[in-house]
Amino acid sequence: MDIPCSLQERKILEKIALAAQELKVPAYLIGGFVRDKLLGRRTKDMDIVCVGDGIALAHKLAASLGDHVPVSFFKTYGTAQVKWNDLEMEFVGARKESYRQESRNPEVTEGSLQDDQNRRDFTINALAISLRDEDYGSLLDPFNGLADLDAKIIRTPLEPAQTFSDDPLRMMRAIRFASQLQFTIVPEAFQAIQENAERIRIITQERITDEFNKIMLSPKPSVGLDLLYKSGLLKIIFPQMIDLVGVEMYEGKGHKDNFYHTLQVVDNIAQHTKDLWLRWAALLHDIGKPATKKFEPGHGWTFHGHDAVGGKMVTRIFSRFKLPMGDKMKLVKKLVELHLRPISLTKENITDSAIRRLLFDAGDDIDGLMLLCEADITSKNKVKVKRYLENFELVRARMKEVEETDRIRNWQPPITGEIIMETFALTPGRVVGDLKTAIREAILDGEIPNTYEAAYAYMLEKAKSYNLTPVK
């Protein structure tokens, strides 16, 4: 076997081969695992196809591994899964698929290895390695997938229009692999994607989002995002992004193309973090621009309030994409809302209180916010970029100083609502909120020190304007 496997993987493949021999079914390692190993990528998911009953083979293997190795299987699909240490093995009987226009679901019948390879989406995903006794370890590559791996090409085994029309998710997968592996989709396949883009509508949002996120996690997400745009898929799955495309001219003045700017920002942040949600924040940071765009005579193009409008759009977009609506959404929303703030701190004569305020508003997400802001600098002028980045370094240094003295990050003001209510025998209401805010603002503005005593005294003083006197 000429793929670089670990000792554990080699052992398990031998056990699968033995189990298959005992059942007298020819078995093959196929798909992503073979592709990724040949490319030297990390992978733990093995796909095994056998000409016969895949579920029976999974059970046979599990029994040979020990007493309590669980097998999960799906009778309707004829698939089974065995987990062993950190390996996941997926078993399936070789099948032949025929599609009808009206439905996503093909007619599936038992087939040969060749039939099974025909139904695979790309030549590089159809490579198989024999686990049979007579030719153990040899590569079975009817579509020259190995050559395509070398040439870094994505090509369908059969006619591309048919392949994409049969299962439109493959269009997303083609673009995802192009972005993930930095491969090129052959022109005839890309053209077939453009022609079949509309068919993506029959695919569930969850599966689209899965592929989209893999594009976002790829080394240079702009590759996939631009292909989504050029294929016509983006218009269907993410119309808000299309609104960012283009440059409008008025009185000889244009603004930057916010779509390509955004792609650059996503690539920039991708160089510094693998965090999907920070990458999403980069993708959405300017999403409010089209809705707030104005031409102001004598001034030029403005996008006032695009941060707040963008923040609101985050919720809707997450919901459309069926992304998690909890903390992750809140993080992205917050970063979009705050993305202009650090830039305003690079001006001269910035007070400690402006720094404190940002630390307070951003809390634990300040590091992510700074990454986003640095990624947002996309000027072609290298000197300018360097100067901006240096300015951000100064802001970081100031933040560190202020944080060391004031501990504002994750800070709660020393006087709580409960203390205010107890002191003045108040029930919850507007006055309590007003007093609480006043104390917090006074501390953030540096008007009073961040101590219980100072805040308590300030509260008593402030309370006078509400005609309140302490009850104890």
Task: Report angle CA 213, 4, 116 to the nearest 5 degrees.
Answer: 65
Query: How near is the Cβ of 32 to Mg ion at its closest, in Å?
Result: 3
Inter-CA distances, 98 with 108, 163, 165, Å: 7, 11, 12
Record the tokens describing residue 313, joined without a space.
């759009």
Tell the residue number behind the tokens 């033995």, with chain if given. 18
Q: Tell me if residue 179 falls in helix, strand or coil.
A: helix
Per DSSP, the residues of 289-343 read HHHH-EEETTTEEE-TTHHHHHHHHHHHHHHHTT---SHHHHHHHHHHHHTTHHH
Cα separation, 472 vs 464, in Å, equals 15
Cβ proximity to ligand ATP, 172 vs 420, nearer residue: 172
Nearer to ligand ATP, 177 or 318 (CB): 177
C-alpha–C-alpha distance, residues 323 and 115, integer Å: 36
Residues 19-38 as x/- pattern, contact with Mg ion by CB under 5 A: -------------x------
Of 210 and 445, nearer to Mg ion (C-beta) is: 210
Q: Could you tell me the smallest distance in angstroms from the CB atom of residue 220 to ligand ATP?
A: 17
CB nearer to ligand ATP: give 170 or 306. Answer: 170
Per-residue contact string for residues 115-154; x = within reach of ligand ATP by CB under 6 A: -----xx---x-----------------------------
Pairwise CA distance, residues 75 & 55, whole Å = 8
Of 167 and 406, which CB lies nearer to ligand ATP in the complex structure? 167
Spatial distance between the Cα atoms of 163 and 121, rounded to a whole number of angstroms? 7
Site map 41..60 versus Mg ion, x via CB under 5 A: ----x---------------
- Picked from Mg ion, ligand ATP, none, the partner binding residue 169 (CB below 5 to 8 A depending on kind) is ligand ATP
Question: Which residue in the shown chain puts its C-beta closest to ligand ATP?
Answer: 32
CA distance 346 to 361: 17
125 binds, among Mg ion, ligand ATP, none (CB under 5 to 8 A by kind): ligand ATP
Interaction between residue 417 and ligand ATP (CB under 6 A): no
Min CB(106)–ligand ATP separation in Å: 10
> What is the β-pairing status of strands 79-84 and 87-93?
antiparallel
Subset of residues 31 to 90 that bind ligand ATP, contact rule: CB under 6 A: 31-32, 45, 47
378: tokens are 């996309």
Residues 342 and 331: their CA atoms lie apart, in Å, by 16
- Give the torsion through C-alpha atoms of 385, 390, 395, 398, to 10 deg: 180
User: Is 451 within 8 Å of 359 (Cβ atoms)?
Assistant: no
For residues 168-227, which are near ligand ATP according to CB under 6 A? Answer: 169-170
Q: Which residue is nearest to Mg ion (CB)?
A: 32
In the complex, least distance from residue 111 CB atom to ligand ATP, rounded to whole angstroms: 14
Task: Please identify which residue in 141, 148, 167, 337 interacts with ligand ATP, judged by CB under 6 A.
Answer: 167
DSSP state letters, 11-23: HHHHHHHHHHHHH
CB 207 within 8 A of CB 152: no
* Shortest CB 120 distance to ligand ATP, Å: 4
Q: How far apart are CA 174 and CA 233, in angstroms?
A: 12
Q: Which is nearer to Mg ion, 174 or 192 (CB)?
A: 174
Report what 120 binds from Mg ion, ligand ATP, none; CB cut-off 5-8 Å by kind: ligand ATP
Task: Enumerate residues 200-229 that contact Mg ion by CB under 5 A.
Answer: none
Complex with Mg ion: residue 121 or 376, whichever CB lies closer: 121
For Mg ion, give the closer residue by CB, 90 or 286: 90
Size of interface with ligand ATP, in residues (CB under 6 A)? 10
Compute the least distance from the CB of residue 43 to Mg ion, in Å.
7
Q: Read off the tokens for 28.
A: 């093959």
Task: Note the residues at the interface with ligand ATP (CB under 6 A).
Answer: 31-32, 45, 47, 120-121, 125, 167, 169-170
Task: Note the residues at the interface with Mg ion (CB under 5 A).
Answer: 32, 45
